[in-house]
Structure 1
Amino acid sequence: MSGDESVILGRVVAPSRALVLAGTGFLDEWSELGDPLSVRALHSARAGGAHLHDWLAEATAVPTGPATLTVTARTRPGTYEPRPTIAVLDIDLDLPWSAVSAGTEPVPLGALPVDPCGMAIGDPVALDAWIGFGSGPRTVDGLADLRLGGKGDTQASTHFSAPEIVATWTLHGWLDLPITSARERATTINQWAVAHGHYKFLAKVNPHTHQHLGWRAGWPDPLGAGLIEIAGCPILCITWSPSELQRFRGGRSHGQVYPVTLEDVDGRATLRWRIGAWTDESERTNLDSR
């Protein structure tokens, strides 16, 4: 894949007839801050769509039709490495343009920062069940992945016969272990690492939260996109390469937000997120006031 191409990232469904594009870092905090995400998103979708923002949790909610919704991306070359990255994200909402606007111009819905933990696209009712970083000891299935990374990982993978779990960047470890077994094995490997002068946290355990499984689903994809299932619904998760995240480290606190609009694409309503350029100050002020 080269830059400036359009690719399909995945397809989701929205039984609630609402869809959200949300940052995942605080996705499990909405109900702690007030109403659950689904309550806020369904209300906003019925009103035609809106930007949702509570403390550090952010999302955009829009109405949808009943059919499968296709998510595509236009790409550009990466900023710090040659592989492509997402410049524009489009979600076909399975609605005629006339269902969301009587005019012809794009409808601004605010602006979103790039969440360094990734983004999720899917039905807000399903996303109420999201298990993320803030969910304490809860997991999806009681399992965990064990990854090797850092100084000495090549030697450790050979010594402990760790299989390759990601071919795209040669990551070794074990998938789908019982959590207790994963932690015991990590302790053994890290003790070995210290004794041999390697990185003392060489083995890392990742419990199966939706956050981790979303990240894992994107491992094989050049753009970091992958589907997981939550409450019976496919959810598309997008994560960014570490080098690309350097572009977005300022976040909203430094005004680094990117416009989200409803657009008429061949007569169909499309949710569009332009990640390729910052909004200018006047546009950002107008978007954030809506």
Structure 2
Amino acid sequence: MAGWIDYWPQVGRPLSERARTAAGSGGGHFYGPEDSRPGAWMCEAIAVEASADRPLRVRAQTSASPFDGEPTIGVLEVDLGLPWTGRDDGEPLRLGDLPVDRCGMVLGDARALDRFTGLDGESTNGLADVTYWGKYEDTVHAQFGGDRIPQHHSGHGPRGWLDLPLAEAEAVAERLRTWTREGPGNGLIVAVDAHTDLHRFRRASWSHPLLAGVVDLGGCPVLGLDWDPGDHSMRHHGERAYGQVYPATLEARVGEAVLRWTIPPYDPELDGRT
């Protein structure tokens, strides 16, 4: 869960150490303090062993979003590059379950993820992006400029500036906020996104139909998976607190081990919030 990676050091051993323990016992689900149960709004992860001499091959099957009908991830499969050593009958091994983090999910080597900078992290390169949107967007654009920044393959997105030095980005944002306070008042939202690893993968996903993007962490590629806010609100909102969790299994495919995460198609009759 991408939004909680910064919290692993606060709840116990580092992510990589917890992952090594879980993977060494055949794979498993770990979370929060080690003497706890999975809880709402807490860090969680699934860990398994994988080949160290090749990139992981990742596939996705899709289902239609109840929000806009666009394809969303229904099944995620990861070829682990190792022979199947599970049950002789080939039946899947249940590892646990995970919610869909509103901030996205990440898949990669746990040692690399120890250095992943999340929501509260600092810019990895001293740069930041500034975006703005809202009621007075057109007026602000006429006075201050700013390019349209598509944040989805549909081409929609706010206006703003990419790749500004952090201090300059803060100054630009403050000019827009000052204009709003001294002028029309509420009606413009301004955001400054430092180039954390979380923001870098979300930005890399903007042009992908499934909002998937890869970033480099110390020479190790890490895959990030984002979710459209509308789709998340209808299918995954409330996450573990509302029982919105999905099974992760270790399975055999042509004699090799595959990690599989399955998100069933949306069924409004099973959604207790509708």
Tell me, in whole angstroms, the C-alpha distance in 2 between the residues paired with 1:24 and 1:235. Answer: 11
Structure 2: which 5+ runs fail to align? 34-41, 267-274
Please give the per-residue CA displacement for 1:159-178, whole angstroms capped at 9, x wherever unaligned. 32212232721432111111
Write the mapping of 1:107-186 to structure 2, written as runs, cut at 5 A: 107-135=93-121, 138-166=122-150, 168-186=155-173
> In 2, are the aligned partners of 1:214 and 1:237 still within 8 Å (CA)?
yes
The structure carrying a bigger strand percent of its residues is 1
Q: State the one-letter code of the partner of 2:48.
A: V
Aligned residues: 253
Tell me, in whole angstroms, the C-alpha distance in 1 between the residues paired with 2:120 and 2:176. Answer: 27
Please report how far the alpha carbon of residue 121 of structure 1 lies from its aligned counterpart in structure 2 after TM superposition.
Answer: 0.3
Structure 1 counterpart of 2:230: 243
Please report how far the alpha carbon of residue 209 of structure 1 lies from its aligned counterpart in structure 2 after TM superposition.
Answer: 1.1
Tell me, in whole angstroms, the C-alpha distance in 1 between the residues paired with 2:256 and 2:13. Answer: 31
CA pair 37-162 structure 1, distance change in 2 beyond 3 A: same
CA pair 198-79 structure 1, distance change in 2 beyond 3 A: farther
Q: Secondary structure at the match of 2:3?
A: coil
Matched, 1:35 2:13: yes
Q: Secondary structure at the match of 1:134?
A: coil
Please report how far the alpha carbon of residue 101 of structure 1 lies from its aligned counterpart in structure 2 after TM superposition.
Answer: 4.3
Q: Secondary structure at the match of 1:212?
A: helix
Q: Secondary structure at the match of 2:149?
A: strand
CA pair 101-233 structure 1, distance change in 2 beyond 3 A: farther
Tell me, in whole angstroms, the C-alpha distance in 1 between the residues paired with 2:87 and 2:108. Answer: 22
> In 2, are the aligned partners of 1:142 and 1:208 still within 8 Å (CA)?
yes
Question: How does the TM-score come out when normalised to structure 1?
Answer: 0.82
Please report how far the alpha carbon of residue 102 of structure 1 lies from its aligned counterpart in structure 2 after TM superposition.
Answer: 3.8
Q: State the one-letter code of the partner of 2:119.
A: F
Q: State the one-letter code of the partner of 1:219.
A: W
Please report how far the alpha carbon of residue 201 of structure 1 lies from its aligned counterpart in structure 2 after TM superposition.
Answer: 4.7
Please report how far the alpha carbon of residue 195 of structure 1 lies from its aligned counterpart in structure 2 after TM superposition.
Answer: 4.3
CA pair 51-274 structure 1, distance change in 2 beyond 3 A: same
Please report how far the alpha carbon of residue 198 of structure 1 lies from its aligned counterpart in structure 2 after TM superposition.
Answer: 6.0
Residue among 55, 58, 61 paired with 1:68: 55
Please report how far the alpha carbon of residue 29 of structure 1 lies from its aligned counterpart in structure 2 after TM superposition.
Answer: 1.2
CA pair 94-101 structure 1, distance change in 2 beyond 3 A: farther
> In 2, are the aligned partners of 1:148 and 1:172 still within 8 Å (CA)?
yes
- Identity within the alignment, %: 39
Matched, 1:226 2:175: no
Q: Secondary structure at the match of 1:51?
A: strand
Q: Secondary structure at the match of 1:76?
A: strand
CA pair 82-277 structure 1, distance change in 2 beyond 3 A: closer
Structure 1 counterpart of 2:29: 51
Q: Please report the RMSD computed on the Cα atoms of aligned residues, expressed in angstroms.
A: 1.8
